[in-house]
Structure 1
Amino acid sequence: MPRPTRTIHVALADGDRVWVDDDGRLPTFLDDPEADGPTATATASRLLTDAVHLAPVVVLDDVRRLHVVGARGGAPDGGGWMAPYELPDDLGGAVATALDEHAGPPLAGRPDWYAPGWHDEVEAWIDAALARSGRTRTGALRVHRVWSISAVHTVATDRGPVWFKASCAHFGAEAAIVGVLAAHLPDLVPEVIAVERSRSWLLTEPLVGVSDDGAPAAAAEALATRWAQAQIGSVAWLDELRAAGAPDRGLEATLTAWRQALATNPELDELDAAERSALARAVPVVESRLRDLWACGFPDTLGHGDLHAGNVAFDGAHARIFDWSDGCVTHPFLDGTHLAHWIGEDSGDVAGIVRAVLAPWREAFPAADFERAVELAPLADLVFQTVTFDQIAGAGEPGTGDLDGVVVMLTRKVLASAATPA
């Protein structure tokens, strides 16, 4: 369903003061999550002066959000400063809380990029990395997007922009994983400038053909065969991926984590009595089908974990995959199913496309049960994604609202899939 346009309040802080306009109000702008253009965090960080977020976005209600930012580029023109408690409505308390938390000890689950001094540390690291490649930074970090999972910034240099990404603790292996992939699959992933494994910092060259609308179906078609071949080749260097921290998302790990999600995720309280009963019946069916999939004869391999149009850059001829937060070792048909459904969004022959996308696996493992694996992979992918979003929610700071409702939505899809004969 389309998400509603939101009113974004921006509290630019200077110590314990916030900037307000001549009417004594926080500046605001409207954000349409369905529209093209900069992210809300990018707009908020540049609305008044160059700034960075001091706290996660505060959810005020269904259609209002509060961004608390700190200036890095001087004070804005006009207006003036005010104490948070002087703000109208419910904003003052939320701003004061955010500022107190920023100045206080680290909160459980809160990413480092909201901590004092973090941006200075990152810029010093970037300067050293750029110096090794003969470049110089010519401007401060500029926000592309910051949220509970990652912080992505652009960095101006004397030879054009580069990109920086930091991942949250739950995805702390991402930078190291990309470093391994860049060594083995340099034409399929971003070109790496530097990696800081211990902090999951990643500096890369810009990608050509990244679109806010996501890559076109032609990108998936260009990528499909290459990706299957890359996965097949990765069997030889899975130990490097594991050493980099790529998690095991194979059969037993997936089933164990799925049972944990069903037992503990609070979103599942939304299920009605009929759905709960259906879920109880579905669990053994789902587990049996996933065991059947893994018994079809294909090895676990490199998995992207979230291979969709928004994570692929396409220059019209070549595709590169980015956003490796969910990179792991798992069944290869999960990524293949994602690709096939992306290609087939406007086609009536999704089943045929799935088989075409996964064809290299039939050739590489002729004794495996290809047709059965194709039938079972979509359900396994739903279970895999349920685990992913449950674990993100469990590892992050409560109350951000970033991914609310995803686990229960996926669980209902699992129920529908399990009810279909396979």
Structure 2
Amino acid sequence: MLVDATGALPVLPDLPADHDGHALADVLALVGADIPLAPTAKLADGGFVHLVGMRGGAPEGALVAPDALADPAHAAVVAPALAELDPRRSPVLRPDWFRPGWFDLVEAWIDAVLAPSGRRRTGPVEPFRLWSISAVVRVPTDGGELWCKASCDHFRREASIHAAVERLLPDLVPRLVAIERDEGWLLMEPMDGTEQDEQPAGTAAEVAQRWAAAQLEAIEHVPALLAAGLEHRGADATIAAFLRLLATSAELELLTDAELADVRAAADRAVALTRACWEAGIPETLAHGDLHLGNVAWDGRALRIFDWTDGCVSHPFLDATHLTRFADDASASAAKAVYAAVWRDALPSVDVDRALRLAPLADLVFQTVTFEAIAAATEQQSAWELGGVVARNLRLLPGLVVEVG
């Protein structure tokens, strides 16, 4: 391990309280590293240890064994991380990008798919974000940068889902250069307008209107989408999974006895209202599953919706309520209005407003199921990343049941 003169690991500079954390590039640059070697570990005191390394050569500085680290808490994290670089000792649920040789495999694939076009990679891929869910790397080429994404085993179908959606809605998703279906890899063209603070005013309403129209267009293509590998997350499947987690979720232990009692008391009504949302007359269609402005690129000219890990066939209004849930009040109201108007025009005999009133509860149930599945597919060292979301959603359930119905 690389340490300073005191035998301690290098330390990142402090950040303001409202900052969302160091970018991976900052972490790698601090010690001249190239790649993460293992998931970031969270310590009992709330600190983090980033486990990074080099693809070739050796860094400058003092190298010591993990048990020589000045901080025993660091040693307790670093020692198993090094041992787990041996494929025979790697945790079963560890994503491939934390396994030796993964970056070489990805670069070889990129080179192979670019070769027929004459385009050439001009340097090593650059890690942008790697965590339990996915890995995103920047790819420098002689024709401009590309982006490559890989998803964990739980979301490995994203490559096939994205390709299916692109065939149907080519102007609404990132342009694919290539995919590797078996590995779940996507090579994509870059997009403008991915940073929310750079998106123009009215972005939520623009997304709502365009996405409502796209969902209506997709209704007749549902059989093809299902055949392409999109999961059907209908009322029955969603409710069944929700009832299972109410009996078995590990995050039930995060609730107080009073909170758990409130959740159980509200569960039957939550299920009934969720089913009522599905039975309100809105046909199932293509759903993004996690639609918010952080998964949207919009620069005022081109709109692209990305991150199709949760793409499925489901109730369309789940996307609408999820989009507006994270927007400010004015943006949310505008987005709801334009979304509803598109559906009212298309289905004048359906009570669109009732379905929209029920959708926030149905989406909460849907999202709780989503995060329960993610938790089950995540190794223990990464559990902190999304841990607690199921419990947080369950705490919201009783109040939302009262509000909705």
SS in 1 for 2:35: strand
1:413 aligns with 2:396: yes
CA contact (8 A) 1:258 1:383 kept: yes
What is the Cα deviation at residue 38 of structure 1?
Answer: 5.8
1:358 aligns with 2:312: no
* 276, 285, 289: which one aligns with 1:305: 289
CA distance in 1: counterparts of 2:206 and 2:302, whole angstroms: 7
CA distance in 2: counterparts of 1:310 and 1:421, whole angstroms: 27
Q: How many residues end up aligned between the 2 structures?
A: 401
SS in 1 for 2:336: helix
Q: Provide structure 2 residue ranges, at least 5 long, that are not aligned to the other structure.
A: none
Aligned positions of 1:40-119 closer than 5 A: 41-72=24-55, 74-77=57-60, 79-89=61-71, 90-105=73-88, 106-119=90-103
What is the Cα deviation at residue 368 of structure 1?
Answer: 1.9
Q: Deviations over 1:67-102 (max 9, x none)?
A: 11220254334x221111111122123211001111
User: TM-score, normalised on structure 2?
Assistant: 0.93
1:394 aligns with 2:373: no
For 2:250, the equivalent position in structure 1 comes to: 266
CA contact (8 A) 2:199 2:299 kept: no
What is the Cα deviation at residue 266 of structure 1?
Answer: 1.7
SS in 2 for 1:198: coil
CA contact (8 A) 1:102 1:115 kept: yes
- The aligned amino acid for 1:371 is D
- Higher mean Cα deviation, 223-232 or 315-324? 315-324
Cα distance change on mapping 1:320 and 1:296 into 2, 3 Å: same
Aligned positions of 1:262-341 closer than 5 A: 262-341=246-325
- The aligned amino acid for 1:414 is L
Report the RMSD for the aligned CA atoms in angstroms: 2.0
For 1:183, the equivalent position in structure 2 comes to: 167
For 1:12, the equivalent position in structure 2 comes to: none
What is the Cα deviation at residue 31 of structure 1?
Answer: 6.2
Cα distance change on mapping 1:329 and 1:140 into 2, 3 Å: same
SS in 1 for 2:380: coil
- The aligned amino acid for 2:157 is A
SS in 1 for 2:390: helix
- The structure where strand makes up a greater share of residues is 1
SS in 2 for 1:320: strand
1:371 aligns with 2:353: yes
Aligned positions of 1:165-244 closer than 5 A: 165-211=149-195, 213=197, 215=199, 217-244=201-228
SS in 1 for 2:93: coil
What is the Cα deviation at residue 140 of structure 1?
Answer: 0.8
Aligned positions of 1:17-56 closer than 5 A: 18-30=1-13, 32=15, 34-35=18-19, 39=23, 41-56=24-39
For 1:10, the equivalent position in structure 2 comes to: none
SS in 2 for 1:164: strand
- The aligned amino acid for 2:2 is W
User: TM-score, normalised on structure 1?
Assistant: 0.90
For 2:120, the equivalent position in structure 1 comes to: 136
Q: Deviations over 1:162-211 (max 9, x none)?
A: 10000011111111111111222111110100000111000000111121
What is the Cα deviation at residue 53 of structure 1?
Answer: 1.4
What is the Cα deviation at residue 248 of structure 1?
Answer: 1.6
What is the Cα deviation at residue 117 of structure 1?
Answer: 0.8
SS in 2 for 1:385: helix
CA contact (8 A) 1:167 1:174 kept: yes
Cα distance change on mapping 1:214 and 1:251 into 2, 3 Å: farther
CA distance in 1: counterparts of 2:247 and 2:14, whole angstroms: 36
CA contact (8 A) 2:33 2:52 kept: no
Q: Deviations over 1:28-52 (max 9, x none)?
A: 104648437862x332233222421
For 1:381, the equivalent position in structure 2 comes to: 363
CA distance in 1: counterparts of 2:288 and 2:211, whole angstroms: 10
Cα distance change on mapping 1:143 and 1:31 into 2, 3 Å: farther
CA contact (8 A) 1:172 1:200 kept: yes
What is the Cα deviation at residue 407 of structure 1?
Answer: 0.8
- The aligned amino acid for 2:357 is E
What is the Cα deviation at residue 350 of structure 1?
Answer: 4.8
- The aligned amino acid for 1:267 is E
CA distance in 2: counterparts of 1:298 and 1:86, whole angstroms: 63
CA distance in 1: counterparts of 2:40 and 2:276, whole angstroms: 43
For 1:3, the equivalent position in structure 2 comes to: none
For 1:145, the equivalent position in structure 2 comes to: 129
SS in 2 for 1:47: helix
CA distance in 1: counterparts of 2:214 and 2:264, whole angstroms: 38
What is the Cα deviation at residue 362 of structure 1?
Answer: 1.6
Q: Provide structure 1 residue ranges, at least 5 long, that are not aligned to the other structure.
A: 1-17
What is the Cα deviation at residue 237 of structure 1?
Answer: 2.0
Q: Deviations over 1:341-375 (max 9, x none)?
A: 455x142x955742432222222222222121011
CA distance in 1: counterparts of 2:138 and 2:335, whole angstroms: 36
Q: Deviations over 1:218-260 (max 9, x none)?
A: 2222222111111111122223322332222110111011111
- Higher mean Cα deviation, 271-280 or 400-409? 271-280
SS in 1 for 2:50: strand
